[in-house]
Amino acid sequence: MEYILGYRENIRGYGRKRTHKMSATESLKDAQSSSGVGNTCTNPSLENIENNKLVVDRFASLFNNEKLSDIIIQVGDERFYAHKFMLIICSEVFEAMLNEDRWKEASQPEIKLTEEEECIPVFSLFLRYIYSGSVGLTTDNVLPILLLADKYCIPALSTACVEYMTRHIVESPDTNRTLSWYQYSKMTGNSLLVDKCRKFILSNFEIILKTADWMDLSKDEVVEFLSSSDLVISNEFDLWLKLEQWLLSESNHKDVALNVKEVVPLLRFKMMQPKQLLEIEKSQLYVDHKDIFSDKINAAYRYHSLIMNEVYQNHRDEMFRNYMCKFYCLCIDLTLLHYNYVEKFESKINHLVTIPVDVVASSNKKNMKEIPFEVTFWPKGPFKTFSWYGYTSPNVTMSLKMLCKNLSAVDTSMSLILYGIKNGVKYVAFSYNATHKFTASSSVFTEDNVVQIEHLKADNSPYIVNGNLEAKLFLKIKDVEWDKDN
């Protein structure tokens, strides 16, 4: 009892001392107030002392540090000293896991986290980010780090990863990463990244077809890509050969019949030559699934027969893709050799081309097999001394003019691509797509902002291949309206 009374007396004494100190503090505040000291609104000598980096460095030094550690995290074969405070303030998931009694991890001195296989090697980078707010991203590690950021709900890191991907998607011709990024961005609903990845994949489909990843694509993805007219490929028959490999791959062995039924009709058989159609008929897939192939192949034979006899259909249900093969007459070369050494006034590229119609008009116009265009390309910007008084655009400019007079309207689509090179692989680093309806009053289409010239002149420009600007234009006719007077 005497001990308790003595303890209480000590507490009272501490209270009296504390009251005395508080009174002195209040007196100091009154003195400062009367003299203006501490008044940030009126004191002109105010300076903000910021040691932010010092604070960050202090926290960063605690990464995997036993000092003050109150929990150990095991991931794979690695163990990390961690601090609940740091984990909780950075992650809502860790906050629930380590701060709520309903989770067993909240009371354990060591927890084991189960991560995806690709995430285990980068977990230390992820954990270091929690302590320092800094991480080094590469095209190899950005997706697994994004997986961890999304899993543990760290929005700032997720945003940084996605922004990195959008900046680097066209800089790497490694299609494995692009396809992975595309699949994940679709899963998470990131529309910006989906669009950028898809554009890159379609423009570089020739590369995709040569990778092991082609065999691992799901049926839905194959259907999605084959449904597009924006594929940049050599020809339709080569596409069939790669599709045949995919259909016969081990991973698709159990679903061949279903895959053939859903995928084969997406091939554009009318875009193949008769001798190529004969080759398809020799394949085992054709023999085993003739009922699926026959209608499409017979329609293609009939189409070629009508063309040979100059009898045209009113409608074709198979549109051109972006074929590079000269057989299709759709691809126009706009390459400028030795880009940086060519004078501006000598850089203009001009072509007169005839483009085959994609939807053929009535048979009484049987002499109209193609439509003439004039294509003009200024890879260093237009330069017209007299009409523009020496004006020079800072952008690459492209112009198309329809030269046919007896047409009411021609509906077209166009795709301009610029090549780049990385790690010895040439790939499409930039693509521009547009549509235009040419009429008598709108017979010229001009795009004066294809890409800024400074991006081409820059050191290590992603759009220059061995000193050359390699560009191609795909011009396709989708529909034709004839002049009623002709």
What is the per-residue pLDDT across 420-444, written as a single tens digit (0 to 9) for each? 998 788 999 999 999 999 998 899 9
Can you tell me the distance from the alpha carbon of 381 to that of 383, in angstroms, rounded to the nearest whole number?
A: 7
C-alpha triplet 319, 479, 316: angle, nearest 5°: 40
Query: Which pLDDT tens digit goes with each residue over 244-260?
Result: 999 998 877 788 999 99
Q: Does residue 189 lie in a domain region? A: no
Q: Do residue 84 and residue 138 come from a single domain? A: yes
Q: Do residue 383 and residue 447 come from a single domain? A: yes
> Residue 173's pLDDT band (boundaries 50, 70, 90)?
confident
Nearby residues of 190 by Cβ (< 8 Å), 6 or more positions away = 162
Neighbours of 255 (CB within 10 A): 13
Report the mean per-residue pLDDT for the chain.
84
Nearby residues of 247 by Cβ (< 8 Å), 6 or more positions away = 256, 259, 260, 263, 285
Higher pLDDT: 12 or 465? It is 465
- Of the listed ranges 45-59, 143-157, 265-279, the least confidently predicted one is 45-59
The pairing of strands 110-113 and 71-75 is parallel
> Residue 21's pLDDT band (boundaries 50, 70, 90)?
very low
Q: Which of 323, 339, 354 is the last residue of a domain?
A: 323
Q: Do residue 337 and residue 461 come from a single domain? A: yes
Q: What is the pLDDT at residue 484?
A: 66
> Residue 385's pLDDT band (boundaries 50, 70, 90)?
low
C-alpha triplet 461, 233, 295: angle, nearest 5°: 165
Q: Does residue 20 lie in a domain region? A: no
Neighbours of 347 (CB within 10 A): 18
Q: Do residue 84 and residue 211 come from a single domain? A: no
Radius of gyration of the CA atoms of the chain, in A: 34
Q: Is 336 left (phi over 0), alpha (psi -120 to 50) or beta?
A: beta
Q: 381, 407, 411, 382: which is closest to 475 by C-alpha?
A: 411
Q: Do residue 249 and residue 383 come from a single domain? A: no
Nearby residues of 209 by Cβ (< 8 Å), 6 or more positions away = 233, 238, 239, 242
Can you tell me the distance from the alpha carbon of 334 to that of 419, in angstroms, rounded to the nearest whole number?
A: 11
Q: Do residue 333 and residue 468 come from a single domain? A: yes
Q: What is the pLDDT at residue 58?
A: 79
Q: What is the pLDDT at residue 339?
A: 95
pLDDT above 90 as % of the chain: 56
**Bridge-partner residues for 350, per DSSP?**
376
Q: Do residue 305 and residue 423 come from a single domain? A: no
- Of the listed ranges 28-32, 127-131, 145-149, the least confidently predicted one is 28-32
Query: Which pLDDT tens digit goes with each residue over 73-96?
Result: 999 999 999 999 899 999 999 998
| Torsional sign, CA 201, 205, 206, 210 | positive
Q: Which two tokens stand for residue 198?
A: 């898809």
Q: Do residue 163 and residue 210 come from a single domain? A: no
Residue pair 377/471 in contact (Cβ under 8 Å)? The answer is yes
Q: Which two tokens stand for residue 298?
A: 């017979």
C-alpha triplet 403, 406, 410: angle, nearest 5°: 65
Q: Do residue 316 and residue 354 come from a single domain? A: no
Q: What is the pLDDT at residue 185?
A: 92
Q: Does residue 242 lie in a domain region? A: yes
Q: Is 399 left (phi over 0), alpha (psi -120 to 50) or beta?
A: beta
Q: Does residue 87 lie in a domain region? A: yes
Question: Which letter does DSSP use for residue 363 in this model?
Answer: G
Q: Does residue 8 lie in a domain region? A: no
Residue pair 280/297 in contact (Cβ under 8 Å)? The answer is yes
Residue pair 395/451 in contact (Cβ under 8 Å)? The answer is yes
C-alpha triplet 52, 54, 57: angle, nearest 5°: 110
| Tally of domains in the chain | 3
First vs last Cα of the chain: how many Å apart?
A: 120
Q: Does residue 179 lie in a domain region? A: no
Q: Do residue 241 and residue 345 come from a single domain? A: no
Name residue 36's amino acid.
G
Taking CA atoms, 327 is separated from 15, 238, 274, in Å, by: 97, 13, 13
Query: Which pLDDT tens digit goes with each residue over 315-344?
Result: 557 889 999 999 999 999 999 999 999 998
Q: Which of 119, 146, 168 is the last residue of a domain?
A: 168
> Residue 303's pLDDT band (boundaries 50, 70, 90)?
confident
The pairing of strands 349-356 and 232-233 is unpaired
Q: What is the pLDDT at residue 156?
A: 94
Q: 409, 426, 423, 439: which is closest to 472 by C-alpha?
A: 426
Q: What is the pLDDT at residue 312?
A: 54
Q: pLDDT at residue 261 above 60?
A: yes
Q: Does residue 15 lie in a domain region? A: no
Q: pLDDT at residue 15 above 70?
A: no
Nearby residues of 170 by Cβ (< 8 Å), 6 or more positions away = 196, 200, 420, 429, 430, 462
Q: What is the pLDDT at residue 383?
A: 74
255: domain CATH number? 1.25.40.420
Which pairs with CB-CB distance under 8 Å and at least 24 residues apart come from 17-25?
Answer: none
pTM of the model: 0.78
Neighbours of 183 (CB within 10 A): 16
Q: How many residues does the chain have?
A: 486
Q: Does residue 358 lie in a domain region? A: yes
Q: pLDDT at residue 7 above 50?
A: no
144-148, 188-192, 312-316, 459-463: which is most confident: 144-148
Q: Which of 280, 306, 323 is the last residue of a domain?
A: 323
Angle between helices 175-188 and 142-151 (to 10 degrees): 20
427: domain CATH number? 2.60.210.10
- Of the listed ranges 287-291, 456-460, 471-475, the least confidently predicted one is 456-460
DSSP 286-352: HHHTHHHHHHHHHHHHHHHHHHHTT---S--S----EE-SGGG--EEE--BSSGGGS-GGG--EEEE
Q: Do residue 292 and residue 353 come from a single domain? A: no
Higher pLDDT: 365 or 128? It is 128
pLDDT above 70 as % of the chain: 84
| Torsional sign, CA 132, 136, 142, 145 | negative
Q: Do residue 287 and residue 387 come from a single domain? A: no
Q: What is the pLDDT at residue 32?
A: 52
For 137, the domain range is 53-168
